[in-house]
Amino acid sequence: MIGRQREIAVLWHQIELARAGGLRVALLAGEPGIGKTQLLRELARRAAVEGITVLRGGASDAEGMPPYLPFLEALGRYIRAADPAELRAQVGALFAPLAALLPELADRLGDPTAGYPLPTDQARLRLYDALGDFLAAIGAQRGLLLLIDDLQWADPATLDLICHIARRHGLDGTPARLLILGAYREGEVDAAHPLAPLLWRWREHAEVRHLRLVNLPVSDHVRVWEPWPEVTRWVVSPAAS
């Protein structure tokens, strides 16, 4: 991992605030290849070292992907790896609404009351509340870092859900020990993009940090130039570049 010390410090501070007891949202914008995913990975590594629970999911532009994909990925992985007793305590009375979206729960904890329907419009609020409460329960002991990559491809339902959780568990509601950290391709989000209203709503929120990744300064690089394999490496130091 080269550079990005400032960004890491800013985001780490948000993680600390969330861990101390309060929901935060951080957004990372930048062009493709600038290093968004790399930075998420580095923060995930550091958070895991500190004992913070880390969940990761990403949106996709592949065809046929279901709604809520980042949450299905993040929570599906968590459920498959979690200790069953701890999982049961975290899920509590939310089993039925959660199991409608997360079949892994029934696999790990046994069959729930069978045949709970997939969310209709009426059941959606209940599902959103259940997912938010589940995340709050997961983060209750050690804090939770929820990483959502490639938000520019997120389906509207995923964005609604993020908004709902942010409202319910922090921005205006009961705080959870949760940092939602999302990354997106800045150039792909214009005014008509589904992400735009969310960015607009959060633009001046004290609990939301918005960072823009730009190219690493040349001084952060040690460029290695190898014109021919047999020729000695030319290492251009920061001072010489």
Ligand X SMILES: Nc1ncnc2c1ncn2[C@@H]1O[C@H](COP(=O)(O)OP(=O)(O)O)[C@@H](O)[C@H]1O
Q: Which does 79 bind (CB under 5 to 8 A by kind): Mg ion, ligand X, none?
A: none
**Minimum Å distance from CB 41 to ligand X?**
7
Question: In this chain, which residue has its C-beta nearest to ligand X?
Answer: 35
**Minimum Å distance from CB 183 to ligand X?**
7
In sign, the C-alpha dihedral spanning 158, 161, 167, 169 is negative
Residue 98 or residue 183: which is nearer to Mg ion going by CB? 183
**Minimum Å distance from CB 126 to ligand X?**
34
Q: How far apart are CA 46 and CA 191, in angstroms?
A: 35
- Segment interacting with ligand X, rule: CB under 6 A, options 2-10, 80-88, 104-112, 132-140: 2-10
Residue 1 or residue 10: which is nearer to ligand X going by CB? 1
CA–CA distances in Å: residue 50 to residues 9, 85, 145, 213, 230:
15, 23, 11, 25, 44
Residue 39 or residue 131: which is nearer to ligand X going by CB? 39
4 belongs to the binding site for ligand X (CB under 6 A): yes
Positions 19 through 58 that interact with ligand X (CB under 6 A): 30, 32-38
Q: Which two tokens stand for residue 241?
A: 């570049």
2 belongs to the binding site for ligand X (CB under 6 A): yes
Residue 131 CA, distance from chain mean position: 14
**Minimum Å distance from CB 173 to Mg ion?**
30
Q: How far apart are CA 135 and CA 146, in angstroms?
A: 9
Which parts of 144-231 are beta strand (E)? 144-149, 178-185, 208-212, 223-225
Residues touching ligand X, count (CB under 6 A): 12
Q: For 156, list phi and psi in degrees, rounded to 5.
A: -55, -35
Nearest-10 crossing angle of helices 121-139, 84-91: 130
Residue 30 or residue 139: which is nearer to Mg ion going by CB? 30
Residue listed under structure tokens 């030319």:
234
Chain residues binding Mg ion by CB under 5 A are 36-37
Chain residues binding ligand X by CB under 6 A are 1-4, 30, 32-38
